[in-house]
Amino acid sequence: MEKVTFHLPTLWADHHVLAVRELLQQINGVQDIKASAMDQRVEIQYDPSVVTAEVLASQLAQAGYDPTRVPELPTYPKRIDDASDWFRFQERITVTDMRDLEMSGDFRKY
Amino acid sequence: MSRYIATRALRGANLIVNEFDALLQKALQELGPDKEIKFTNTAYYLPTILGYTGIEVSNIGGLKPVLEHCRTLLHGLPSNKTWLPYLGETLDAGVATLLAEEGIMGIRFAYGLEPQKMPGLELTGSSAPGPGYLNGPIDDIQLRSWGIQLVDGRMPGFAALIGCAKTNQAAVEIVRQLQQRNILIFLSGNVNGRSVIHQLMEEGVEMGYDTYIVPFGLDTISTVYPMGFATRSALTFGGMKGGQAREILLYNKYRVFAFALALGEVDDLKYATAAGAITYGFPVLADTVIPEIRPTGITQYEHVISMPWDDIEGETDAEKAARFVQRAIEVRGVKIKITEVPIPVPYGSAFEGERVRKEDMRIEFGGKYSRAFEYLRMVDLDEVEDHKIELIGPDFSDVPVGGAMDLGIVVEVAGRKMQEDFEPVLERQIHYFINGASGIQHIGQRDIAWIRINKAAVDKGFNLKHFGEILYARLHSDFGAIVDKVQVKIITDPDVHAEWLAKARVAYDYRNKRLSEMTDESVEEFYSCTLCQSFAPDHVCVISPERLGLCGAYNWLDCKASHQINPTGPNQPIAKGRAIDEWRGVFENVNAFVQQASHGSVQSVTMYSIMETPMTSCGCFECIMMILPLCNGFMIVSREDPSMTPAGMTFSTLAGMAGGGLQTPGVMGHGKYFIVSRKFIRADGGLKRIVWMSSFLKETMAEELKEAAIRAGDPDLIDKIADERVATTEEEVLAYLEQVGHPALAMEPLM
What letter does residue A43 receive in the DSSP assignment?
E
Helix ranges, B256-388 (H): 268-279, 317-332
Indicate the SS3 state at residue B459: helix
Q: If you count them, how many residues does chain A have?
A: 110
Q: How confident is the model at residue B468 (pLDDT cuts 50, 70, 90)?
A: very high
Buried b (16+ CB within 10 A) or exposed e, B7-46: bbbbbbbbbbbbbbbebbeebbeebeeeeebebbbbbbbb
Phi-psi map region of B585: left, alpha, beta (phi>0 left; psi -120 to 50 alpha): left
B265:A110 CB<8 A = no
What are the tens digits of pLDDT across the range B580-634?
Answer: 999 999 999 999 999 998 888 899 999 999 999 999 988 778 899 999 999 999 9
Residue B236 pLDDT > 90, yes or no?
no
**Are the C-beta atoms of A73 and A24 separated by less than 8 Å?**
no
What confidence tier does B153 reach under pLDDT thresholds 50, 70, 90? low
Assess contact for B555 and B419: CB atoms under 8 A: no
Q: How far apart are CA B206 and CA B215, in angstroms?
A: 11
Q: Does residue A37 contact residue B189 with C-beta atoms inside 8 Å? A: no
Does A36 sit within 8 Å of B190, measured CB to CB? no
**B730 — phi, psi (to 5°)?**
-65, -35
Q: Can you say whether the dihedral through the CA atoms of B450, B455, B457, B463 is positive or negative? A: positive
Residue B282 has pLDDT above 70, yes or no: yes
Q: Do A33 and B219 touch (CB under 8 A)?
A: no
Residue B677 to residue B705: CA distance in whole angstroms = 10
User: Which region among B262-276, B301-315, B624-638, B647-661 has the lowest average model confidence (pLDDT)?
Assistant: B647-661
Q: Please name the member of A13, A33, A79 whose beta carbon is closest to the beta carbon of B12.
A: A13
Whether residue A38 and residue B15 make contact (CB cut-off 8 A), yes or no, is: no
**Chain A residues with a Cβ under 8 Å from any Cβ in chain B:** 12-15, 17-18, 21, 33-39, 71-76, 78-79, 99, 103, 108, 110
Instruction: Count interface pairs A-B at CB distance under 8 A.
Output: 82
Residue (of B569, B235, B253) closest to A110 by Cα position: B253
How sure is the predictor about B639, in pLDDT bands with cuts at 50, 70 and 90? confident
* Yes or no, beta carbons of B269 and A108 under 8 Å apart: no
pLDDT of residue A107: 46
Contacts of B269 in chain A (CB under 8 A): 12-15, 37
Using CB atoms within 10 Å of the CB of residue B491, give its burial: 0 to 12 exposed, 13 to 18 middle, 19+ buried: buried
| Nearest CA-CA distance, residue B264 and chain A, Å | 10
Using 50, 70 and 90 to split pLDDT, how confident is the model at B569? Answer: confident
Residue B66, SS3 per DSSP:
helix
Mutate to test the interface with B, among A15, A75, A84, A103 (most CBs of B within 10 A): A15
Three-state DSSP class for residue A2: strand
| A7 has a pLDDT exceeding 90 | yes
Question: Checking phi first, is residue B326 left (phi over 0); if not, alpha (psi -120 to 50) or beta?
Answer: alpha
Q: Is A18 domain-assigned?
A: yes
Partners of A21 on chain B (C-beta within 8 Å) are 192-193
Ordered DSSP codes for B129-198: SSTTB---SPPHHHHHHHHHHHHHTSS-EEEEEEE--SSHHHHHHHHHHHHHTT-EEEEE--BTTB-HHH
Residue B243, number of CB atoms within 10 A of its CB: 15
Contact B94, B9 (CB under 8 A): yes
Instruction: Name B318's Cβ contacts closer than 8 Å, sequence gap at least 6.
Output: B173, B176
Of all residues in chain A, the one with the smallest CA distance to B254 is A110
- pLDDT of B98 > 50? The answer is yes
Chain A residues whose CB is inside 8 A of the B163 CB are 14
Q: Which of B190, B196, B252, B256 to mutate to test the interface with A (most CBs of A within 10 A)?
A: B190
Which residues are CB-contacts of A100 (< 8 A; sequence separation ≥ 6)? none
> Cβ contact (<8 Å) for B220 and A36?
no
- Domains identified in chain A, total number: 1
Q: Is the pLDDT of residue B458 over 90?
A: yes
Average pLDDT over residues B542-549: 92
> What does the pLDDT average to over B498-517?
86
C-alpha–C-alpha distance, residues B189 and B178, integer Å: 18
Report whether B77 contacts A73 (CB < 8 A): yes
* Range of the structural domain that residue A35 is part of: 2-62
Task: Tell me the chain B residues in contact with residue A79 when contact means C-beta distances shorter than 8 Å.
Answer: 79, 84
A20–chain B nearest CA distance, Å: 9
CB atoms inside a 10 Å sphere around CB A64: 15
pLDDT: is B46 or A82 the higher one?
Answer: B46
Is the CA virtual torsion B389, B394, B397, B403 positive or negative?
Answer: negative
- Which of A34 and B565 is assigned the larger pLDDT? A34
Residues 6+ apart with CB under 8 A from B142: B125, B127, B209
Q: Is the pLDDT of residue B684 over 90?
A: yes
Residues of B in contact with A99 (CB under 8 A): 246
Contact criterion met (CB < 8 Å) for B77 and A72: no
3-state DSSP assignment of residue B431: helix
Q: Among B192, B220, B246, whose Cβ lies nearest the Cβ of A35?
A: B192
- The CA distance from A31 to the nearest CA of chain B, in Å, is 15
Closest CA to B364 of B455, B441, B451: B451
Query: Under a CB-based contact definition with an 8 Å cutoff, are residues B307 and B321 in contact?
Result: no
Chain A nearest CA to B102, separation (Å):
14
Measured CB to CB, residues of chain B less than 8 Å from chain A are: 11-12, 14-16, 18, 74-77, 79, 84, 163, 189-193, 218-221, 246, 250-251, 253-255, 265-270
The 10s digit of each residue's pLDDT in B204-233 is 999 999 889 999 999 999 999 999 999 998
Q: Does residue B689 have a pLDDT over 50? A: yes
Q: Look at strands B633-638 and B623-628 and give their pairing.
A: antiparallel
Q: Does the pLDDT value for residue A105 go beyond 60?
A: no
- The answer as to whether A100 is a domain residue is no
**pLDDT value at position B2?**
83
**Residue-wise pLDDT tens digits, B405-438:** 999 999 999 988 888 888 888 888 888 899 889 9
Predicted confidence at residue B78, as pLDDT, reads 83
More confident residue, A25 or B425: A25
For chain B, percent of residues with pLDDT exceeding 70: 98
pLDDT the model gives residue A108:
46
Residue A55's domain is classified under what CATH number?
A: 3.30.70.100
Q: Pick A99 or B156 by higher pLDDT.
A: B156
Our CA-based measurement puts residue B471 at a distance from the nearest CA of chain A, in whole angstroms, of 36
- Across the interface, whether the CB atoms of A110 and B251 are under 8 A apart is answered yes
Residue numbers in B near A75 (CB within 8 A): 76
* Mutation for testing the A interface, residue in B15, B101, B134, B255 having most A CBs under 10 Å: B15
> What confidence tens digit (pLDDT) does each residue in B356-367 have?
888 899 999 988
Q: How far is A58 from chain B, CA to nearest CA, in Å?
A: 21
Q: Are B186 and B158 in contact (CB under 8 A)?
A: yes
Mean pLDDT to the nearest integer, B369-397: 92
Backbone angles phi, psi at B700, to 5 degrees: -80, -20
Average pLDDT of every residue of chain B: 91
> CB of B52 within 8 A of CB of B95?
yes
Cβ pair B193:A76 closer than 8 A: no
A29 within a domain of the structure (yes/no):
yes
> How many other C-beta atoms are found inside a 10 Å radius of the C-beta of residue B339?
14
Nearest CA distance, B247 vs chain A (angstrom):
9
Q: Is A71–B18 a contact, with Cβ atoms under 8 angstroms apart?
A: yes
The pLDDT value given to residue B298: 87
Among the listed residues B465, B499, B469, B458, the one whose alpha carbon sits nearest the alpha carbon of residue B373: B499
CA B606 centroid distance within chain: 28
All domains in chain B, ordered by first residue:
3-110 (1.10.8.190), 140-332 (3.40.50.2030), 349-510 (3.30.1650.10), 525-746 (3.40.1470.10)
Average pLDDT over residues B540-568: 86
DSSP string over B569-598: SS--EEE--SEEETTTTEEHHHHHHHHHHT
Please give the backbone phi and psi of residue B651, each rounded to the nearest 5 degrees, phi first.
Answer: -55, -45
The answer, yes or no, to whether residue A85 has pLDDT greater than 80, is no
Report the side by side order of strands in the sheet with A2-7. A2-7, A41-46, A30-36
Reference B108, options B120, B97, B117; nearest CA is B117
Give the pLDDT confidence score for residue A90 in this predicted structure. Answer: 60
Phi, psi dihedrals of residue B472, rounded to the nearest 5°: -60, -50
Question: Is residue A39 in some structural domain?
Answer: yes
pTM above 0.80, yes or no: no
What's the average model confidence in pLDDT over B69-88?
Answer: 82
- Kindly report the backbone phi and psi dihedral angles of residue B646, in degrees, each rounded to the nearest multiple of 5, phi listed first: -65, -15
Q: Does B352 score more than 80 pLDDT?
A: no
> B251: nearest CA in chain A?
A110
Q: Residue A109: pLDDT above 60? A: no
Which residues of chain A lie closer than 8 angstroms to B266, CB-CB? 38
> How many of the other CB atoms lie within 10 Å of CB of A58?
12
Question: Which of the four pLDDT bands, split at 50, 70 and 90, describes residue B148?
Answer: low
In B568-704 the beta strands, taken as DSSP E runs, fall at: 573-575, 579-581, 586-587, 623-628, 633-638, 667-670, 690-693
Nearest Cα neighbor of B619 from B238, B87, B279 is: B238
Residue B115, preceding bond cis, omega within 30 degrees? yes
Residue A91 lies in a domain: no
Which amino acid would we find at residue B426? L
Q: Closest residue of A to B252, CA-based?
A: A110
Tell me whether residues A12 and B191 touch, CB distance under 8 A: no
Burial class (CB in 10 A: 0-12, 13-18, 19+), B741: exposed
Q: What is the mean pLDDT of residues B84-98?
A: 89
Q: Residue A56: inside a domain, yes or no?
A: yes
Identify the burial level of B649 via C-beta atoms within 10 angstroms of its C-beta, where 0-12 means exposed, 13-18 middle and 19 or more buried: middle
Q: Does B189 contact A14 at a Cβ distance shorter than 8 Å? A: yes
User: How many CA atoms, within 13 angstroms, populate the side-chain half-sphere of residue B49?
Assistant: 27
How far, in Å, CA of B654 to CA of B651, rounded? 5
- Among chain B residues, the shortest Cα distance to A22 is held by B193
CB B618 within 8 A of CB B629: no
CA-based nearest distance A70→chain B, Å = 11
DSSP letter at B101 equals H
CB A47 within 8 A of CB A4: no
User: What is the reported pLDDT for B254?
Assistant: 85
* CB hemisphere CA count around B740 (13 angstroms): 19
Better pLDDT: B260 or B664: B260
**Least-confidence region, from B186-190, B267-271, B442-446, B565-569:** B565-569
8 Å CB contact of A76 and B266: no
Nearest-angstrom CA–CA distance, B79 and B82: 7
Residue B154 has pLDDT above 80, yes or no: no
CB contact under 8 A, B268 and A75: no
Q: Are A15 and B265 an interchain contact pair (Cβ–Cβ within 8 Å)?
A: no
Whether residues B190 and A110 touch (CB distance < 8 A) is answered with no
Shortest CA gap B192–chain A (Å): 5
Q: Is residue A73 part of a domain?
A: no
What average pLDDT score do residues B366-383 get? 90
Cα B651 from Cα A72, distance rounded (Å): 45
- Pick B192's closest partner by Cβ from A13, A36, A99: A36
Distance CA B684, CA B664 (A): 15
Is the predicted pLDDT of residue B537 greater than 90, yes or no? no
Calculate mean pLDDT across residues B516-520: 85
- Give the closest-approach CA distance of B320 to chain A in angstroms: 24
Closest Cβ opposite residue B269 in set A13, A34, A74:
A13
pLDDT (0 to 100) of residue B620: 78
Residues of chain B with C-beta less than 8 angstroms from the C-beta of A76: 75-76
